[in-house]
Amino acid sequence: MNTRQIVLAERPKGAPTTDTFRFETTTLPPLQPGEVLLQGKYYSVDPYMRGRMNDRRSYIAPFRMDQPMEGAVVAEVLQSKSDRLSTGDLVTGMLPWREKMVVKAVGLLKTDTSLAPASYYLGLLGIPGLTAYFGMMDIGKPKAGETVVISGAAGAVGLVAGQIGKIHGCRVIGIAGSDKKTDILVDEFGFDGAINYKTTKDMRKAVAELCPDGVDIYFDNVGGDISDAVISNINFHGRIPLCGQIALYNAQGIPTGPRMYPVLLTRSVLLQGFIIRNFPDRFPEGIKQLSAWLKEGKMKFTETIVEGFDQIPQALLGLFTGENTGKMVVKA
């Protein structure tokens, strides 16, 4: 059986382009015992994928040249030679960017659509939601009355992190890149305020005005100038879950900026880089709590859904130009 796949055609210098990827047709092997044939339904594109395009040691192995890209995918079982799964089941896993695929059933998570729509397993109940959950609960540790600032607030992680702050009784301020996004944060997701960094001249002052008691938790998805402005306003005993640095991912070489360490020192600030792999045994806890908040109406989620397997590369590139609100997902 033939299927289409998307491979890494070149390692980008700076921002990736459509030339970074190549579409191919490949032949699937026959199904072996323990394996399933899957049809991809929803493909996740995420900022961390940029790091895997470099041939450089990181927390996750680089993508291989001329091999299919991979990421979180929700797929339907078309044929099964495994006792664990049956035709028609929906599953989530780290899977190649192929329209159809043959994989081992072990390692696939059965997708429980009674908890949330299937695509939410790429967002609220997937890597982004769990990232927000562990970053806020284990590093941020929000207390009622504190002030939380989220950069990249309208992205999948930011939306969840901000709402976790609200659930804990915090004042939550989001930073995003358009008026449409800042409006959504305040009007639909209950943020107490939001800043459009693209139209704000003095970010440091803007953060100070919206955070009159200073910043206790800075959940950072972005890095760069935005972080400098927030950290200038951080309180004594502030916490910084360091989750992403999307502003720097496409940089060539190491960008420079003000040295903020003296602020971190004199204000006894905790900064902790993290990835969800640091919390391997606690995914069920996170999924249970996030889906409970969803059912109770305390948590909302939103997606930007792009249609068509062909559109996966373009959707990924769109993350770096801020085209998504909430989770960017491609529906095949």
Q: Where along the sequence are the contacts to a second copy (CB under 8 A)?
A: 51, 58-59, 220, 223-224, 227, 236, 242-245, 248-249, 254-262, 264-275, 278
Range 295-300, long-range pairs (CB < 8 A, 24+ positions): 295/115, 298/163, 298/167, 299/124, 299/160, 299/163, 299/167, 300/159, 300/163, 300/188, 300/189
Smallest distance, a second copy to C-beta of residue 62, A: 12
Pick 148 or 269: Cβ nearer a second copy: 269
Smallest distance, a second copy to C-beta of residue 267, A: 6
Pick 75 or 132: Cβ nearer a second copy: 132
Smallest distance, a second copy to C-beta of residue 248, A: 6
Pick 183 or 225: Cβ nearer a second copy: 225
Identify residue 163 by its one-letter amino acid code: Q
Return left, alpha or beta for 34; rule: phi > 0 is left, psi -120 to 50 is alpha, else beta.
left
C-alpha–C-alpha distance, residues 104 and 317, integer Å: 30
Cα-based angle 54, 279, 90 (whole degrees, multiple of 5): 80
The pair of three-digit structure tokens given for residue 237, joined into one six-digit string: 């005993």
C-alpha–C-alpha distance, residues 80 and 177, integer Å: 45
> What is the distance of C-alpha 298 from the center of its chain?
20
Smallest distance, a second copy to C-beta of residue 274, A: 5
Pick 211 or 299: Cβ nearer a second copy: 211
C-alpha–C-alpha distance, residues 225 and 204, integer Å: 9
Pick 190 or 224: Cβ nearer a second copy: 224
Pick 16 or 40: Cβ nearer a second copy: 16
Smallest distance, a second copy to C-beta of residue 157, A: 13
CA distances from 95 to 5, 92, 107, 165, 268 (A): 11, 8, 10, 32, 42
Nearest CA to 155 out of 44, 40, 307, 43 is that of 44
Smallest distance, a second copy to C-beta of residue 150, A: 16
311 in Cβ contact with 330 (< 8 Å)? yes
Pick 114 or 266: Cβ nearer a second copy: 266
Smallest distance, a second copy to C-beta of residue 90, A: 32
Pick 224 or 322: Cβ nearer a second copy: 224
Smallest distance, a second copy to C-beta of residue 260, A: 8
